[in-house]
Structure formats: C-alpha cells, structure tokens
Structure 1
Amino acid sequence: MLDDTDRRILRHYQHAPTLGASDLAERAGVTSATCARRLERMQQEGVIRANRAVIDWRALGYEVEVSLRITLDKTQPRAFDEFIDAARDVPEVIEIQTFLGRVDLRLSVIARDMAHYQQLYRSAILTLPHIADIEALMHVARIKSDEVLPL
C-alpha cells in the first residue's frame, strides 16, 4: 500500500523520470536515501513498471494512424491467441487491446501515408487469422494522450 510519501515521490517522478535521486528527493521533500529506497521498493512491487523513451512516430515520418476494430470468428477455439500472436509480428501495429462485447480487439496501426497504409492493410492486416469483421477508424487528432496519474 502506498502512503503519502510514496505518492509525493511518484507525483514528481512521473513528470521527470530522468531526475537524479537527490533532485527527486528534494522536490518530494525527503532524503536521497529515503527516495532511492522507496523507488526501488515500488519498482520491485511493480508499481513502477518501466522507464522508457516515448518516441514521436510522426517525427520519424509516420503521418497516418488508424484504429481497427476487429471481431473474430469465435468458432475457432484458439482464435484470440492465434490472432494476437500474428498481430504482434506486424511492426506497424503499435497497440493491441482486447474487449468484451461486440468488438473483440482494437489495433492501432501507423503508416507513412495512405498508400503505405493501403499496402499494410492488404498484405499484413487482412491476412491476420480468424477475422470475421473489421472496421477502420481514421485518427484525425489526438486531443489528450497522457500517462500521468492524479496522485
């Protein structure tokens, strides 16, 4: 269970994960040793899962993002597993989500342009196993994309 000190450390850490322990400790109002010990504990407990680089794929030339809502042929017992395994192998699929309801999965797919997306759709997406229905939603704008939690 997290206490107020843990939450204070996390609040500052999520905004500046590259800060050194002493700078983070100063912002959180704790000693460097306390900060380091608590960060290590939260990493071991899985509260802090990773530190990673967030790359702007548009800066790398990917201008198109499409959400694909997919319904699988659930008469096949391994439909989900086989579909997910195959979708993971498509580099342009940057996110896979599963759902309960009419739609089974959602894929986020990026492409350099519409011609590239059309090629991906035909050669990599439509060849994924067990697709019963697919609906494409073209992203127009990302209004909010924030992983910061209200701590």
Structure 2
Amino acid sequence: MRIEIDETDRAMLRLLAADGGMNAGALGRVLGISQPAAWRRLRRLEEAGVIAARRPVLDQPALGFDVTVFLGVKLATRGRVSLDDFERAAAAIPEVQTIQHVLGLFDYRLRVVARDIGDFERVLRRRILTLPGVGQVEANVMMSEERRPGPLGPPDPPGGAV
C-alpha cells in the first residue's frame, strides 16, 4: 500500500534507520510532537508496510567477525530446482548474512562474515564451494561501510522541483 509521507514522517524514518529501537515517546521528544501523535504515525507507517521490521543492527566486529566479504556466485547449472536448492543450502550457513538473487554476471550475491581471512577461507572451501550448483565465485573484501537510510520519498518530478 502506498501512502503519503510528510517531512515529519521522513524525519521519523531517519531516526529509526539510525536506531530502530526508539519508542514513540523518544521519537516524539526528538520530533517535537506528543507521544500519542508519534505512536499514531509509527503505527501508520508499520501498517502501510513502509516499516517492514525493527531489528537491532549487530556490530559484527564487536561479535568477533572482523572480515566481511561479498561473493558473486555463478551457478553451473540452471533451472528452478537448482536455484531453490542453492538458496536453501546457502541459508543454512551461519556466516552467510544475506542471499541476493541478482541479474548480471553472477546469479547470486552473498554477504559473508568471518573472524579473519583464514576463517573466511575455511568457510569458502568447506561450505560455499560445496553448495549445490556452484560454478564460479568472485570475492570482494569489504574495507569500510557507511550505512545510510536511502531515499525517503518519491523522486523529484522530471525537469526538477515544481
């Protein structure tokens, strides 16, 4: 469902992107609105599906996972069964944080965390390269990351702002 989002909603979404655990009282104080008004806005955004979930963002290095690697995976075999088998098997590997089915040179992009490069090599050799249908793998080690909330509303109309 698509809903109208005003500047207060956008400000609330920015706050929640930075700290998903903020309650309506804290949101209201920062936004300069009452707790009930903040709660109503929050519920409206959740019910419309704008806020799909509020989860903690885990600090991987604080948990001992100092290496993040993005893997491009090209399957050697095609067909629906191989996609389902690959996804199910990849989801069973705890170090695999995300599985994205993509269009391009690779069929999948995986985000993998590891304690160090040696640990990543072990995960790659023993778990990922043995997944069903894996043909080719390309690894990109993350050097740094900046988290951003993304766009918080419709794009500007063609030809600039009205």
Partner-residue secondary structure (3-state), 2:71: strand
The normalised TM-score by structure 1 is: 0.84
Partner-residue secondary structure (3-state), 1:78: helix
| Preserved CA contact (<8 Å) 1:83 1:130 | yes
Question: Which residue of structure 2 aligns with residue 86 of structure 1?
Answer: 89
| Preserved CA contact (<8 Å) 2:95 2:114 | yes
Letter in 2 for 1:116: D
Aligned equivalents of 1:123, 1:64: Cα separation in 2:
17
| Preserved CA contact (<8 Å) 2:75 2:135 | yes
Aligned equivalents of 2:10, 2:70: Cα separation in 1:
34
The normalised TM-score by structure 2 is: 0.79
Pairing 1:47-58 to 2, within 5 Å after superposition? 47-58=50-61
Q: Which runs of 5+ in 1 are unaligned?
A: none
Aligned equivalents of 2:46, 2:102: Cα separation in 1:
28
Q: Which runs of 5+ in 2 are unaligned?
A: 153-162
Pairing 1:9-28 to 2, within 5 Å after superposition? 9-28=12-31
Pairing 1:25-64 to 2, within 5 Å after superposition? 25-64=28-67
Aligned equivalents of 1:16, 1:77: Cα separation in 2:
38
**Runs of 4+ with >3 A deviation:** 11-20, 74-77
| Preserved CA contact (<8 Å) 1:62 1:111 | yes
Stretch deviating more after TM superposition (120-129 or 69-78): 69-78
Partner-residue secondary structure (3-state), 2:149: coil
| Preserved CA contact (<8 Å) 1:71 1:134 | yes
Cα distance, 1:143 vs structure 2: 4.1
Cα distance, 1:30 vs structure 2: 2.6
Question: Which residue of structure 1 aligns with residue 144 of structure 2?
Answer: 142
Cα distance, 1:19 vs structure 2: 3.7
Cα distance, 1:39 vs structure 2: 0.7
